[in-house]
């Protein structure tokens, strides 16, 4: 498995930080293959000169695609993305399984020559749509008595995991050729796509593993909004990082937005409840100062009375 994290600490970034204010917001990165999600966060901390950065859902090193990052005070909204749906495009290779269920692992069992039939894989994929009990891979971050399963698996120790209920909202086979098939899927949080590939291989009786994976969507964040690390580096050098940020009016689109006046903002700063009569039916409201400055998420106490739940000022 290719890892780049160790190299990152030795890099010297010639970035001239022209920002006079802390950088707070959300940025979507197109994660390159071979990088862990933590590698990307480490690089971004250097590029943005900001220590407080988190991601909204880990991607395995071999995977590429959408990795939303919350920056500065916006790390406090991570809690609202714990159950986010995710979408992927990928390739499954049939003929042998691997111990990690993906192309980074070691082969398990004898390899077979396979000619995939599109109709067979389509039928099997359809059986996985809906709520299913899924066994997490042994090489995963699932904890066993406080220890991540992958640490035990690397030491060849026994890994006893329990099935978890997940939901596969879509699992469409997009083509088949030779020993591979392409797919598109949309799944609930906590679903392991490589487990889907592994289980289809078991059903086919020939073994299979995830050959490639590209995440195309996390909640409201898609590839159209994603930037490469090189693009972020160039923007940082030019002092134009703000144009790469995801507009905060589009964050958490299921929660209504309101622009607060100075009196309301003053109450929020002091942690006081505020009256938002026009949103009396909402459980949560995003409160803005101006068009793009998200100052808090407020939760309804009763009627039109809202209390600041997450304050960002």
Instruction: Decide: residue 162, CB within 10 A, 0-12 exposed, 13-18 middle, 19+ buried.
Output: exposed
User: What are the CA-CA distances from residue 132 to residues 82, 97, 119, 136 (Å)?
Assistant: 19, 21, 22, 12
Residue owning tokens 């395995």: 60
- Tokens linked to 103: 């192309």
Identified catalytic residue from 30, 39, 60, 104:
60
Number of other residues whose CB lies within 10 A of the CB of residue 108: 15
For residue 60, indicate whether it is catalytic.
yes
Contacts of 229 (CB under 8 A, 6+ apart): 29, 32, 40, 43, 44, 47
User: What are the CA-CA distances from residue 23 to residues 109, 141, 199 (Å)?
Assistant: 51, 30, 43
The residues that are catalytic are: 60
């Amino acid at each position: 498995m290719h890892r780049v994290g160790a190299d990152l600490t030795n890099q010297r970034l010639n970035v001239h930080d022209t920002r006079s204010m802390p950088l707070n917001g959300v940025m979507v990165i197109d994660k390159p293959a071979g990088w862990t999600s933590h590698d990307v966060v480490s690089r971004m901390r250097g590029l943005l000169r900001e220590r407080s950065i988190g991601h909204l859902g880990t991607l395995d090193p071999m995977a590429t695609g959408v990795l939303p990052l919350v920056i500065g005070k916006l790390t406090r909204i991570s809690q609202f993305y714990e159950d986010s749906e995710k979408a992927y495009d990928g390739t499954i290779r049939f003929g042998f399984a691997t111990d990690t269920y993906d192309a980074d692992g070691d082969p398990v069992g004898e390899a077979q020559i396979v000619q995939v039939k599109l109709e067979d894989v389509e039928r099997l994929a359809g059986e996985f749509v809906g709520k299913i009990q899924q066994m997490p891979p042994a090489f995963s971050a699932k904890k066993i008595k406080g220890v991540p399963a992958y640490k035990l698996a690397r030491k060849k120790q026994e890994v006893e995991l329990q099935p978890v209920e997940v939901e596969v909202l879509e699992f469409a086979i997009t083509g088949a050729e030779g020993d591979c098939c392409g797919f598109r899927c949309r799944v609930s949080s906590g679903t392991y796509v490589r487990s889907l590939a592994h289980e289809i291989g078991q059903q086919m009786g020939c073994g299979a593993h995830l050959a490639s994976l590209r995440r195309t969507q996390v909640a409201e964040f898609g590839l159209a909004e994603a930037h490469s690390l090189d693009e972020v580096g160039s923007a940082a050098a030019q002092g134009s990082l703000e144009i790469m940020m995801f507009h905060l009016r589009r964050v958490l689109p299921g929660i209504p937005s309101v622009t607060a006046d100075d009196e309301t903002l003053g109450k929020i700063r002091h942690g006081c409840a505020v009256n938002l009569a026009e949103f009396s039916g909402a459980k949560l409201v995003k409160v803005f100062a101006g068009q793009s400055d998200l100052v808090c998420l407020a939760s309804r106490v009763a009627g039109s009375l809202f209390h600041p739940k997450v304050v960002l000022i």
